[in-house]
Structure 1
Amino acid sequence: MNIPYGIRDIEVFIRVIDSGSFKEAAAFLNVTQSALTQRLQKLEDAVGAKLIDRTTRSIALTAVGRAFLPAARRMLNQFEQAYNDIRDVIDVAGGRVTISSLISVATYVLPDVIGRFAEDHPNVGIRVIDVSEQEIMSYVRRGEAEFAIDMRTDDIEEGLVTTPLMEDGFVLACRDDHPHADGGTVDAGELSGMPLMILGARSGTSRVLQAHLTNRATSAKWLYEVQHLSTMVGFLEAGMGVGIIPRMVMRGVASRRLVSRPLHGPSLSRTLELVERRGATLSPAAEQLKQMILAEFTELAKAA
């Protein structure tokens, strides 16, 4: 559709009516009266009718002008709102950023990072989609999340690119008064005699652990099964068994009742990574949040 007038022409029409004077409207818009008159004439030509009756002493809306004025105000308001929304995104002053994340990362890492980001950008909305490993990348692929924090898998979906964040090792955790709280390094073979708590089979973390235990030929059997690490932490704090959890989670737990013991044998860890759409440009706000997350994981990796 070829619209024969612009938003500036609409603004001229509204300003003339609101000020009641061509002279005042021209001064407000910083244009000459002749330029103002030309723009109004352009709008009237496009509409196909006269909008304003002008005499030497006054101006008045025509019947068509009265009918057109409410629509003109809506168009100008919508344009100004759209312009401000775009500026908010460009200037990192407002807008919204959506990311998808592992639940454990969303629980134990992101609150501090997003809290610091919010101090500098209080008007930027942050949406965190904390879901299971099977769902995380799909949000990025569909464009519903600007980036994601996931656990590395053997196959990366086409069209996505990853940035390694850190190797997150596993430890044996339990409450400080649990019979298995004391001692040094734990060998995989010792797990067979412990009241072990595991994550459900849908968990990527669970698959890493099961592969490790299988390779170590241990006969460890689980006593409790939960679906999320945050749930496991709650059970462990209640003194119910022992669990193998990521070191990152252990550092993030606020409770002082949990203790951990290192695991003996080949390196047991999960690789965390940041996932983006290949070739996609992040919004300025998302890019800044991404850089803060990368910096946070750099520090976490140093402390590991």
Structure 2
Amino acid sequence: MSINFDLNDLQAFRAVVEKGSFRKAAEAISISQPALSRRIEKLEGALNVRLFDRTTRRVSLTMVGRAFAPSAERLLNDLDIALLGISEVASTRLGNVTVACVPSAAYYFMPTVVARYHKLYPRIRVKVLDASANTVQEAVLSGEADLGLSFTGNLPPELEFELLIQEHYVAACRRDHPLAARKQLTWAEYFDQDYISVDKTSGNRFVLDQALLHVRPARPSICETRHVTTMLGLVEAGLGIAAVPSMALPLGEHQWMTSIPLVEPAVQRSVGLIRRRGRALTPAALELEELIRELRKPLADQ
């Protein structure tokens, strides 16, 4: 049997399988929708089978398409893994990978990850979806994101969680703040200061409310925001201090900010990778996942 299709046709097939839509698949591999349709037609013609049932509203695999999909996935993954392992070739690889992460991880941690990844694979486009923990879950469930970075919670059974670090909440403050030299700060002392809080839509607010049930604030916050990143901006502006997870802060010295461990009680949250069960990651996503694991080690040592 002669082979009358190529890798581009298989990549188009995989994209449609993953995205469930010709339009979304075309966007994912950066070609026009008519060009993607031609690739699928070429593949179906070469195999002499119909791989998809198409209507105006939906696309689904035929029985033959479902049987063919795992073989096509293995072939493409094996090739990509082999190519990514060759340094001269890795820098020329094309592709897309999407990671959804909570804002506290998106501000300082993920830029470090993306910068390192871009240096290794400059032609693979990384998309970062910074969103709430619930939205991160939804993005991974729907396939909009290849993987997620979030803290553990009530995950649906379709998702799996891999713990990366147990991080503490600390008080972020300016270096010229009167408390900046303190070695630690109790929550009672914290709430006696001008402090900034997050509103009830934030996953961090839920974690703190649960952990601080028996700690009564001496006064309300002077400002409330929706995201940790906004809190840090207000801290830098000198408005007050803020309780944030340690991942939200830069590693090492910062020109304006420092942090103080919060105690009585010490509050932790579990941060890790979220994946959809049974969904194989592309080699590009696997490489990004491994880089996240590698770069979280300095955070665990904080």
Normalised to the residue count of structure 2, the TM-score between the two structures is: 0.68
Identity %: 27
Aligned-pair Cα RMSD in Å: 2.8
Separation of aligned partners in 1, 2:4 and 2:228: 54
Is this contact kept in 2: 1:89–1:95, CA < 8 A? no
Aligned to 1:221: 220
Q: How do residues 115-126 of structure 1 correspond to structure 2 at under 5 angstroms?
A: 115-126=115-126
Considering only CA atoms, is the larger Rg found in Structure 1 or Structure 2?
1
Aligned to 1:277: 276
Kindly indicate whether residue 155 of structure 2 is the aligned counterpart of residue 156 of structure 1.
yes
Is this contact kept in 2: 1:160–1:278, CA < 8 A? yes
Aligned to 1:293: 292
Q: How do residues 148-297 of structure 1 correspond to structure 2 at under 5 angstroms?
A: 148-153=148-153, 155-252=154-251, 255-297=254-296
Separation of aligned partners in 1, 2:151 and 2:183: 28
Is this contact kept in 2: 1:188–1:216, CA < 8 A? yes
Is this contact kept in 1: 2:251–2:299, CA < 8 A? no
Aligned to 1:135: 135
Q: Pick closer, same or farther for the CA change 1:269–1:75 going to 2, 3 Å.
A: closer
Kindly indicate whether residue 112 of structure 2 is the aligned counterpart of residue 112 of structure 1.
yes
- TM-superposed CA distance for 1:131, in Å, is 0.8
- TM-superposed CA distance for 1:89, in Å, is 5.4
Q: Pick closer, same or farther for the CA change 1:241–1:125 going to 2, 3 Å.
A: same
Aligned to 2:103: 103
1:190-220 Cα offsets, whole Å, 9 max, x none, are: 2332111001111111221222332334444
Q: Secondary structure at the match of 1:263?
A: strand
Is this contact kept in 1: 2:194–2:240, CA < 8 A? yes
Q: Which amino acid aligns with 2:203?
A: G
Q: Which amino acid aligns with 2:288?
A: L
Task: Report how many residues are paired.
Answer: 229
Normalised to the residue count of structure 1, the TM-score between the two structures is: 0.68
* Uncovered stretches (5+) of structure 2, i.e. residues with no partner: 6-36, 44-71, 85-92
Separation of aligned partners in 2, 1:97 and 1:156: 22
Q: Pick closer, same or farther for the CA change 1:117–1:183 going to 2, 3 Å.
A: closer
Separation of aligned partners in 2, 1:264 and 1:167: 15
* Uncovered stretches (5+) of structure 1, i.e. residues with no partner: 9-73
Q: Pick closer, same or farther for the CA change 1:189–1:126 going to 2, 3 Å.
A: same
Q: How do residues 69-108 of structure 1 correspond to structure 2 at under 5 angstroms?
A: 91-92=83-84, 93-108=93-108
Q: Pick closer, same or farther for the CA change 1:199–1:282 going to 2, 3 Å.
A: same
Q: Which amino acid aligns with 1:111?
A: P
Separation of aligned partners in 1, 2:117 and 2:183: 39
1:251-282 Cα offsets, whole Å, 9 max, x none, are: 34874221222212233121101010111111
Q: Secondary structure at the match of 2:170?
A: strand
Separation of aligned partners in 1, 2:198 and 2:282: 36
Q: Pick closer, same or farther for the CA change 1:179–1:247 going to 2, 3 Å.
A: same
Aligned to 1:64: none
